Chain A
């Protein structure tokens, strides 16, 4: 199947297990709504995993970026299993190592520090989107 490259699907860990999952989720929304609204669509991970043919078909035709909270990489594993290998994976726990002053604690409501980290992660996702689309921003 041909891969179409005018949009990138973002498959984010919707993680409830760790605060990093919440960061993944918020960072993905920042990319979709503020940083690259015209270039990205979200793929709802629960819907995708539940067997939605529309979500899975999209992920087969368009390139995808998995955004995972931790090294279990559930979004990457799920995408790989049902549609195809993501062109890139962003792992929040890896990005956090670059910003040791930013601590994450909450799985629910984000603090100012956690919001700052979410923005940093969103910027990394946006850079990956540009790479996938062959654009310089």
Chain B
């Protein structure tokens, strides 16, 4: 079996790629795609550590997979609301460029 470290390294690669995407892309849709990549990377790390955690005992071995399931549900909710906001913004100003939304400030 492949060691946990390789899975976590793969997860780190995916997370870094997602972060680079968030920083470099300017269309809000591409930002969302990059955030999805980062959420998937986090899920991969959680599930890899869930397998490692089973050495401690069967009592809480599946906690990691349950957490990954909840992260997945939250990602789905986030996409629904985020894309709704995106459509609402696009209606008012025909653009999804995040740099042009810079007046939305506190």
Partners in one complex: no
A residues bordering B, Cβ < 8 Å? none
B residues bordering A, Cβ < 8 Å? none
